[in-house]
């Protein structure tokens, strides 16, 4: 089955709705400029609601080493997602020292970026192909040209993000074969305000797209 990450959740009701709808991953954004920002303390409380079968992803943007460790120990996510141009060495160090799964977002505008993303093989556990950063590093609700991924022989686990909605996610899966899809803005009624009906519709649309390898 295609994995589903619902990102930028910030209330108990929407966390529960995403879990009930069948999300495989729940994302918490810890980045103050974002309308989806949650404090580490709130993220820890929300995290406690998530059952063991659903993975918790903590999004961070260029934290200092001590901040990163504090964030990890407070929230205890299953996965840390990097969104701020962190170096390969830094991400590999976090993965090793904290023993946590790590993902790296890659903004895709051209094929050459795909080739450059090969440097993450063996350094992080998954790359998340997203639209290029705008005002925010992520969560901008913008799609990128999925055809950039045509014929690409993925050398490591990956996920698709960027402007995915209940209306376009089945087409995105068919076009790219994404093993895991991620949405944030596409299941919101306003920036930072998640909509339970849209979360359910997104998860249903992914399932309707059928199983993927
Ligand atoms: O969502 C945010 O506000 C955000 C802020 C800072 C760094 C990353 C952020 N989101 C990262 C995600 O994984 C989003 O789900 C991904 O970029 C897709 O977002 P969208 O295009 O809105 O579906």
Q: Would you say 158 and 149 are in contact if contact means Cβ atoms under 8 Å apart? A: no
C-alpha span between 191 and 187 (Å, rounded): 10
Q: What three-state secondary structure class fits 123?
A: coil
How many CB atoms lie under 10 A from the CB of residue 62? 14
Q: Which atom of ligand 1 is nearest to the CA of 128?
A: 13
Ligand 1 pocket residues where CB is under 6 Å = 7-8, 27, 29, 31, 34, 36, 59, 61, 83, 130, 136-142, 161-164, 182-186
Query: Which of 7, 43, 186 is the best mutation target for the ligand 1 pocket, counting ligand atoms within 8 Å of the beta carbon and taking the most?
Result: 7
Q: What is the ipTM for the molecules in this complex?
A: 0.98
Domain boundaries, the chain: 3-208
* pLDDT (tens digit per residue) in 99-132: 999 999 999 999 999 999 999 999 999 999 999 9
* pLDDT (tens digit per residue) in 68-99: 999 999 999 999 999 878 899 999 999 999 99
Q: Which atom of ligand 1 is nearest to the CA of 164?
A: 23
| Average pLDDT for 13-41 | 97
* pLDDT (tens digit per residue) in 170-192: 999 999 999 999 999 999 999 99
Q: For residue 21, how far is its CA from the centre of ligand 1 (angstroms)?
A: 20
* Residue 68: per-residue pLDDT: 93
Residues 6+ away with beta carbon under 8 Å from 87: none
| Average pLDDT for 10-21 | 98
Angle between helices 88-98 and 65-75 (to 10 degrees): 40
**Protein residue closest via CA to atom 11 of ligand 1:** 138
DSSP state of 136: S
Query: Which of 14, 28, 29 is the best mutation target for the ligand 1 pocket, counting ligand atoms within 8 Å of the beta carbon and taking the most?
Result: 29
pTM of the model: 0.96
- Give the closest residue to 56 by CA, choosing from 27, 99, 23: 27
Q: Would you say 150 and 174 are in contact if contact means Cβ atoms under 8 Å apart? A: no
Residues 6+ away with beta carbon under 8 Å from 55: 24, 25, 26, 78, 79
Query: Which of 84, 128, 139 is the best mutation target for the ligand 1 pocket, counting ligand atoms within 8 Å of the beta carbon and taking the most?
Result: 139
* Residue 213: per-residue pLDDT: 47
* Residue 211: per-residue pLDDT: 53
Q: Which atom of ligand 1 is nearest to the CA of 142?
A: 21
* Residue 210: per-residue pLDDT: 63
Asked whether residue 59 carries a pLDDT value surpassing 80, the answer given is yes
C-alpha span between 135 and 34 (Å, rounded): 9
C-alpha span between 114 and 148 (Å, rounded): 8
* Residue 84: per-residue pLDDT: 76
Q: For residue 30, how far is its CA from the centre of ligand 1 (angstroms)?
A: 11
* Residue 147: per-residue pLDDT: 96
Q: Could you identify the residue written with the tokens 């063991």? A: 52
201: enclosing H helix or E strand: helix 196-208
Q: Which atom of ligand 1 is nearest to the CA of 8?
A: 1
Q: For residue 34, how far is its CA from the centre of ligand 1 (angstroms)?
A: 9
Q: How many residues does the chain have?
A: 213
* Residue 36: per-residue pLDDT: 98
* Residue 64: per-residue pLDDT: 87
Asked whether residue 3 carries a pLDDT value surpassing 80, the answer given is yes
What kind of fold does domain 3-208 have according to CATH?
Answer: TIM Barrel (3.20.20)
* pLDDT (tens digit per residue) in 139-172: 999 999 999 999 999 999 999 999 999 999 999 9
* Residue 135: per-residue pLDDT: 86
* Residue 65: per-residue pLDDT: 87
């Amino acid at each position: 089955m295609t994995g589903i990450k619902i990102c930028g959740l910030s209330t108990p009701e929407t966390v529960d709705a995403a879990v009930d709808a069948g999300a495989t991953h729940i994302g918490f954004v810890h980045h103050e400029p974002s309308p989806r920002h949650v404090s580490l303390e709130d993220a820890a409380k929300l995290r406690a609601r998530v059952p063991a079968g659903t993975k918790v992803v903590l999004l961070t943007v260029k934290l200092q080493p001590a901040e990163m460790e504090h964030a990890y120990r407070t929230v205890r996510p299953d996965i840390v997602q990097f969104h701020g141009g962190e170096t390969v060495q830094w991400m590999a160090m976090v993965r090793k020292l904290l023993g946590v799964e790590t993902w790296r977002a890659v903004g895709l505008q051209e094929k050459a970026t795909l080739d450059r993303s090969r440097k993450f093989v063996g350094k992080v556990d998954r790359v998340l192909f997203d639209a290029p950063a705008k005002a925010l590093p992520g969560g901008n609700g913008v799609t990128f040209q999925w055809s950039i991924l045509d014929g690409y022989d993925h050398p490591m686990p990956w996920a698709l993000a960027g402007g995915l909605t209940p209306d376009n996610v089945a087409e995105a899966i068919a076009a790219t074969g994404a093993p895991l899809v991620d949405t944030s803005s596409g299941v919101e009624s306003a920036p930072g305000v998640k909509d339970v009906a849209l979360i359910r519709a997104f998860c249903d649309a992914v399932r309707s797209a059928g199983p993927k390898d």
